[in-house]
Amino acid sequence: MSSPPAEEIPAPESSGPHAVDSSPLKSTTLVALGVGIGIGAAVVLVIVCAYVVLRKGRKRGDHFDPENQWKQNTPLPGGNVGGQLNNHGPRLVSHNSRQFSDGSATPPPPSSCSSLSSERPLQQSSSEVTARTFSYVDLALATDSFTSDNLLGQGGFGYVFKGFMPDGKEVAIKQLKIGSGQGEREFQAEVETISHAHHKHLVSLVGYCTSGEQRLLVYEFVPNKTLEYHLHGVDCSPINWACRVKIALGSAKGLAFLHEECHPKIIHRDIKASNILIDNDFEAKVADFGLARFYPDTDTHVSTHVMGTFGYLAPEYALTGKLTSKSDVFSFGVMLLELITGRRPIDRSQHYLDDNIVDWARPLLTQALEDGNFEPLIDPRLQKDYDYIEMGRMVVCAAVCVRHLARRRPRMSQIVRALEGKISLEELNDGMRPGHSSRYDSVASSEYETAKYKEDLQKFREMALESNNSGLLNSSRVTNNNSGVQPSASSSEGLQT
């Protein structure tokens, strides 16, 4: 007889010391897994945030960091040789100890927490400006912290320093006086006009700086001073006739480019000998565009406050404020008379009626164009060493440029061709040539008689004299806003050594 199947009996639960409980182990694993996931999520979140920040930064573009720039560019102690920047950077000089002839001192560089932090690009009112933007620190480094050793000149506008760019290029840096409304307007005018006018016979604007209230302009360096220096400088050897012709032709080409090839046209408004820079080959470059104005092709004239330099101002512009390109032509004619005669535009050593070069020269021009004898006009320092044909060209050009009536003055492109001998002098001078005319009609016209011109000139003289007596007229540049004459010193003085 078979026995019944054995009943499976479950093993009793162990309660001894070696028994293992698996529940706590499982809980620990779950906690560790949760912590790991949390850390991983945090890392991913940080990476995503960093990526977003970087993306936004790239979209904004790179911005100048004044604090960082100041720290990076702070010069180490050390001197330099010959004005060149050395490997350690220029030596910073105490500005409080530098005094100039007018008793003033150059302003110190701005602190990194004020002016530098407010550097901003020029607010442009016309087409895009192509000049480079510099920081104040860049220009402080270039000029050895604006040391007096690098000072080229000074005037009512401020100071001009010689500087060296990091690549060794020489530049002239004009530092405008702070707080001058006229200085701000001239700064804007220079940047907006010269940035778009590129020509062999125009001084080039390398760049500019707007740092807080600081306004600085950086030009190419023109090493051989100005036409004014070479004609009127103390103890300066007179320039020969060939150089005078080259300077006249070069400056005429620069001015013709402004009037006839720029769009819109540009009127310089302050053509004079001190605004013609000369290089070592005696090539001329027109400089100082602080008073320049755009002249739309559709306009017959621009009405504006009269500004310029007494002795060079066209009569109709000085009295009415109506500005055209022919105003520049008149000023150029005065400069040609300086080249021919060696006289200053206003010569206080002469008799009152002869102190103005145009009034003095008119009867001599008339006579020279009738008989072909130029000797009474010619600078005696030339010692008769000149080319007669070239002298005839220049005399005719000067005569037609300083005509009373603006519309009867030639265009500057005509003057260029006449000086080059490419058009006849009869064509330039209404069919008359030197030595063959019985009448020279630049002295008077039915629309603007000599008597009227002299009356208007006397009015302007009285305004200038009144301002001078009141202590206002301390410089050669004057303005007329129909309520008197105000000074505005030439902003080109000192752009040369």
pLDDT in tens, 276-325: 999 999 999 999 888 888 876 655 556 667 787 889 999 888 888 888 99
DSSP 322-363: EE-HHHHHHHHHHHHHHHHH---SB-TTS-GGGSBHHHHHHH
Read out DSSP for 261-305? TSSSEEE-S---GGGEEE-TT--EEE---TT-EEE-TT-S-EE--
What pLDDT score does 458 carry? Answer: 67
pLDDT the model gives residue 244: 98
Can you tell me which residue has the tokens 């990091």? Answer: 166
Domains and CATH numbers, the chain: 83-220 (3.30.200.20), 227-487 (1.10.510.10)
> In the prediction, which pLDDT does 445 show?
42
Write out residues in the chain with pLDDT < 70, as ranges. Answer: 1-27, 52-130, 156, 180-182, 296-304, 350-354, 430-497
> What was the pLDDT predicted at 82?
31
Cis peptide before 121 (omega within 30 of 0): no
Kind of pairing, strands 205-211 and 214-220?
A: antiparallel
Task: Please tell me the predicted confidence (pLDDT) of residue 321.
Answer: 85
Q: Which amino acid is at 18?
A: H
The predicted pLDDT at position 351 comes to 61
**Pairing relation of β-strands 205-211 and 276-278?**
unpaired
Provide the pLDDT for residue 284: 98
Question: According to the annotation, is 174 in a ligand binding site?
Answer: yes
Q: Name residues whose C-beta falls within 8 Å of residue 462's C-beta, 6 or more positions apart in sequence.
A: none
> Exactly one of 270, 288, 355, 379 is catalytic; which is it?
270
Whether residue 270 lies in the annotated active site: yes
Contact 293, 323 (CB under 8 A): yes
How many residues does the structure list for the chain? 497
The span from the CA of 426 to the CA of 359, in Å, is 23
Q: What pLDDT, on a 0 to 100 scale, did the predictor assign at position 37? A: 84
Nearest to 83 by CA among 152, 166, 142, 167: 142
Which token pair is 297?
């092709």
Calpha distance 294→281 (Å, rounded): 31
What is residue 297's predicted lDDT score, i.e. its pLDDT?
62
Helix (H, G, I), strand (E, B) or coil at 217: strand
